Structure formats: structure tokens, C-alpha cells
A = this chain, B = another copy of it.
Amino acid sequence: MARIAVTDGMANDAVELLKQAGHEVVLGFIEPELLSNGALKDFDAIVVRSATKLPAATIAASGDRLAVIGRAGVGVDNIDIGAAATAGIPVVNAPRASTQSVVELTIGHLLASLRHIPRADRGLRNGKWEKKIMKGTELAGKNLGLIGFGRIAQGVGAIAQALGMTVHTFDPYLPPKVAKAQNTTLHKKVETLFSNCTHISIHCNLNDETHHLVNAERMALMPGRSNDGINCGNHIVNCARGGIIDETALLDALQSGQVASAALDVFEIEPVPSDSSLLQHEHFHGTPHIGAATMEAQARVGRDIAHAIMTVLNGGVCETTVNAHLLK
């Protein structure tokens, strides 16, 4: 009988799963001040998404009872996993649950950019019938560069190949045979990925190495013209994490035309400040961090994280423990 705080929501079925196992589930966002003042002292577990931040100080203030932190999703940049390990707390996530949803959103953003879907819809709603300026280009025949080649990128790559794209990858942590098995060209330097690809999609974690990995210098390397001779321009999609793209440099590149379109699901600051010039650019479109926001992904995430939490509470070791290497 554990007490579990669920601060950023969880699928109903998953809450039921925990309750049916005899646990008490306390649903509701907890303000940062309360968290850092020990609001978690009476809990055995906490399940968060991305809204709740668990920095070292908050974890230190949580006392001895807290036995497991569940991230209902993939990225754990909102949790100090090292501090959790120091406190002996495993951080578990649900890395497979949202893969298909993010793959589909990424392909959707790519096609929406290339065919001007949100821009064309905006025109129609404003009473305009702008066929000529909505001329687009095909994905077929173009080089897609994937930064990071984990599960999501592999899914995106497979669909992109079905659409006739050639896939290039950059992932210094990936065994080269994985890239080869998927018929992609693995680059040792991210610079050659940029210089070979008119289309770039980001699928890596946010960390010190990847912060502003997409910057002015690298975007300047993108060729604008594809191997099939089409002046398709350069296109960037990010459904991974904000902060990997330098948004100031991206806006500059959109304004100069070096980047023809940008589609972002994630931003350096979320929610995006409403006075952001990027949001208003004609060749930008975006979504409010909804990569995993599908009924299917949320059901799977909830189920996966409920099982992960209960594994730890029952004294077991969960295979999706992201700070396993730091725990003693």
C-alpha cells in the first residue's frame, strides 16, 4: 500500500491499475515552492510528465520515504537523475510508449512544411485562394538528415524511405551496424550531415553536447538544392526537445531564406512567449509539445509507468531505469 503522487496527469486506466493494486493515488499539480519545501515527504512514489521539475534541491527535500520517480514519457531533462541516484531513488521512464506518435507527428510536420498546409489553411480562412505561392516540393528524392538515430528516428527513417527519401544519420552513441541495417548513411561529423541534407529532423536528447547543436554555422551548410536538381530549399523539424536549435539563429535563417521552413513541436522556453517573432514567421508552423499527446501513447505510457513504479515498489528492478548506472 503505497502513496503515489501523480502531478502532471495520467491515463485513467493506469490510475485504476495502481488503485486496483491497493495503492493510494493523489492526483494534482504541486507548485514548485511546495515541492522544494518537502511536499513529497509523505509519498512513496511520484509520477511526472514534463511540467513538474525535480531539481536536486527538491529531491533532497523529499526525505527518505520517496522510493521511485516515474517519468510518464521519455525525456528526463526535468529531473536531476544524478541527485535522485545519490538519494538512492531510481528514475524510471516509458521510452517505447510514445514512439509511434512522435514518428507520425514528425512525418506530419515534414509534409505540412513542404506543402504549406498550415499556411494554405490560414490563407483560405482569410478568404484567399493562393494556388501559385503554395507551390511545394516532394519529399521523394530528397536527403533527410536525422540527428540521433534511436527508436523514434528509426521509425521516421523507415517512413521517409517508403516515401522515397534517402536517409542520412548522425548519432555518435549508435553502433554503426544499426545505421547500416536501416540502409542509412551514418556521418561521423554532424557538419557533413548538414552539408548533405536539405531536410533535417532532430531526434536526440537535450544535454550540454546537444544544446544549440543546430546553430547558424551548421544551418549555413545546408545545400538548398537536392540531388535530384530541385531547388527545394532547406527544411528543419524538431519534435525532440527545445534548446537543441538556437531559435534566434533559426529566425535569422528563415528571414534570410537559408532555411525555407521550420516546424517545431518543442521550444527553448515552453510555453513559448506570445511575443515570439518566430511563431509569426510566414514559413514557420508549430504545435505545443504534443509529440506524445495521443490517446494511444498516453494509454501506453500510463500502463508502462504504472507497471514500472510497481516493479520498484515491490522491490524489483525496472529495466527502464534511466539512472541505473548512477545507483549504487
Binding site for B on A (CB under 8 A): 100-101, 104-105, 107-109, 111-112, 114-118, 120-125, 127-131, 134-141, 158-159, 162-164, 228, 230-232, 270-272, 274, 279-280, 285-290, 293-298
Query: Bound state CA distance, A117 and B265, in angstroms?
Result: 10
Query: Bound state CA distance, A108 and B272, in angstroms?
Result: 25
The reply to whether A108 and B117 form a contact with Cβ atoms under 8 Å apart is yes
The reply to whether A232 and B270 form a contact with Cβ atoms under 8 Å apart is no
**Residues on B with beta carbons closer than 8 Å to the beta carbon of A134:** 287-288, 290, 293
The reply to whether A131 and B230 form a contact with Cβ atoms under 8 Å apart is no
Interface residue from B111, B129, B293 paired with A271 (Cβ < 8 Å): B129
With A116-B287, A136-B293 known, 8 other A-B pairs at CB within 8 A are A107-B111, A115-B294, A122-B122, A123-B288, A130-B288, A137-B294, A140-B296, A230-B295
**Distance to closest chain B CB from A242 (angstroms):** 13
**Distance to closest chain B CB from A328 (angstroms):** 37
The 8 closest A-B pairs by CB, nearest first: A108-B111, A127-B274, A129-B271, A120-B287, A121-B285, A162-B162, A118-B118, A118-B121
Q: Assuming A115-B108, A279-B124, is B288 touching A137 (CB within 8 A)?
A: no
The reply to whether A100 and B290 form a contact with Cβ atoms under 8 Å apart is no
**Residues on B with beta carbons closer than 8 Å to the beta carbon of A162:** 158-159, 162
Q: Which chain B residue shows the least CB distance to A50?
A: B131
Query: Can you report 8 residue pairs joining A to B where beta carbons are below 8 Å apart?
Result: A104-B111, A108-B108, A112-B117, A116-B290, A117-B287, A129-B272, A134-B290, A136-B290
Interface residue from B109, B163, B289 paired with A104 (Cβ < 8 Å): B163
Query: Bound state CA distance, A286 and B270, in angstroms?
Result: 28
Q: Assuming A107-B111, A127-B274, A279-B125, is B135 touching A230 (CB within 8 A)?
A: no
Q: Assuming A104-B111, A104-B139, A111-B111, is B288 touching A129 (CB within 8 A)?
A: yes
Query: Bound state CA distance, A26 and B129, in angstroms?
Result: 26
**Distance to closest chain B CB from A138 (angstroms):** 5
